[in-house]
């Protein structure tokens, strides 16, 4: 046994996880969290929250790099690459940004953020979700401050601004519900083609992959192809598979079996595509998953249960790597 990342590495891929500084420092959760992380998920770390604008620049020109610094250090120790997450989003962004009304001020505010954050991590981050979740389900732009003041050109502006500061980081757009061929992913394919035609530094489209057991797309490969035909990479960036749970976040046997099959087919889609560089799960240990807090009645979405026992999902992933 070499662990999931060891298996992924045999085909040049990484297997990684989202995490937080207090997780890797051993402050919480209790138990062998770091032993499991270091053995199974040492391919890639994504800061689950500490790279977001509201944490890293909570007030204008006041930066807090502590959390991401700790994760970057831990990544160096275990040999993981780091995926930065994220710069431009409609959530977890302070009101001093979202209340801006002048397009030039907004651009300058983003420039300042990029110079500080991408400047600091330009040699530490392999990938960066520059823009997160810019589209609605029907493929039109969300009415964020970014779109409202700058129009869809904000994508190109953000990508170019980051690339100037950090030319070695692979840059991309990250979203959910694009793992099928649908209105949203087709819109991204058009937007991506357009950006590439303009020479914008776009290197990947991140497939978040927050799936529901039994409803996980069966055409992930076809959706990936929309982007890999353009030469873009298609990492799975936030994989989890939620199922119905009882009050203690416990799934039944059927749920676990369906979940395992969905994890297997999702990871298989990555293994089958030479431009899928790897898979990141959005944490790996059920008790600290974001799912139960956001989707009541659903949970148990990760490969390890509350006792740090690998679930059937673990075996399914191992089987396809
Ligand atoms: C989530 C975190 O996991 C939570 O801890 C936080 O409260 C909200 O954000 N899409 C993304 C991630 O791109 O940043 C989100 O992470 C999950 C959905």
If one residue of 45, 290, 291, 299 were mutated to test the ligand 1 pocket, choosing by the most ligand atoms within 8 A of its CB, it would be 290
Could you identify the atom of ligand 1 that is nearest to the CA of residue 210? 18
C-alpha 198/C-alpha 157 separation (Å) is: 11
- Residues 288-314: tens digit of each pLDDT: 999 999 999 999 999 999 999 999 999
Q: Which domains does the chain have, with CATH numbers?
A: 3-320 (3.20.20.80)
Query: How many residues are given for the chain?
Result: 321
Q: If you average pLDDT over every residue of the chain, what do you get?
A: 98
Tell me which residue has its CA closest to atom 3 in ligand 1.
Answer: 290
Tell me which residue has its CA closest to atom 13 in ligand 1.
Answer: 132
C-alpha 103/C-alpha 29 separation (Å) is: 43
Q: By three-state DSSP, how is residue 42 classified? A: coil
Higher-pLDDT residue of 247, 211:
211
- Residues 20-67: tens digit of each pLDDT: 999 999 999 999 999 999 999 999 999 999 999 999 999 999 999 999
To which residue do tokens 């416990």 refer?
250
Check: CB of residue 75 under 8 Å from CB of residue 45: yes
In b/e form, how buried is each residue of 24-62, taking b as 16+ CB within 10 angstroms? beeeeeeeebeebbbbbbbbbbbbbbbbbbebbbeeeee
Of 156, 238, 298, 318, which residue is the catalytic one?
238
Residue 1 confidence (pLDDT) above 80: no
Pocket of ligand 1 (CB under 6 A): 48-49, 132, 208, 238, 290
Residue 124 confidence (pLDDT) above 80: yes
Alpha-carbon distances of 205 from 173, 228, 311, rounded to whole Å: 5, 9, 29
Active site residue 238: yes
Pairing label, strands 278-281, 236-244 = parallel
């Amino acid at each position: 046994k070499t662990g999931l990342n060891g298996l992924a590495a045999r085909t040049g891929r990484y297997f990684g996880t989202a995490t937080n500084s207090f997780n890797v420092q051993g402050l919480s959760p209790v138990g062998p969290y770091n032993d499991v992380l270091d053995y199974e998920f040492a391919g890639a770390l994504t800061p689950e929250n500490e790279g977001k604008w509201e944490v890293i620049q909570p007030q204008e020109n006041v930066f807090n790099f502590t959390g991401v610094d700790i994760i970057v250090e831990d990544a160096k120790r275990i040999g993981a690459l780091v995926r930065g997450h994220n710069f431009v989003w409609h959530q977890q962004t302070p009101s001093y940004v979202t209340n801006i009304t002048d397009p030039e001020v907004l651009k300058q505010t983003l420039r300042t953020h990029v110079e500080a954050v991408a400047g600091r991590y330009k040699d530490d981050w392999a990938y960066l979700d520059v823009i997160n979740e810019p589209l609605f389900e029907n493929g039109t732009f969300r009415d964020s401050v970014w779109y409202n003041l700058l129009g869809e050109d904000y994508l190109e502006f953000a990508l170019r601004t980051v690339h100037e500061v950090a030319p070695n980081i692979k840059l991309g757009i990250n979203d959910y519900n694009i793992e099928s061929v649908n209105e949203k992913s087709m819109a991204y394919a058009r937007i991506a083609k357009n950006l590439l035609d303009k020479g914008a530094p776009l290197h990947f489209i991140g497939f978040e992959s927050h799936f529901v057991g039994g409803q996980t797309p069966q055409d992930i490969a076809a959706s990936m192809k929309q982007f890999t035909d353009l030469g873009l990479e298609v990492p799975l960036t936030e994989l989890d598979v939620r199922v119905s749970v009882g009050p203690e976040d416990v799934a039944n046997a059927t749920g676990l079996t369906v979940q395992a099959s969905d994890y297997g087919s999702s990871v298989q889609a990555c293994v089958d595509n030479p431009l899928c560089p790897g898979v990141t799960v959005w944490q790996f240990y059920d008790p600290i998953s974001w799912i139960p807090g956001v989707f009541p009645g659903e949970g148990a979405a990760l490969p390890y249960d509350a006792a740090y026992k690998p679930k059937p999902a673990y075996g399914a992933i191992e089987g396809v790597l």
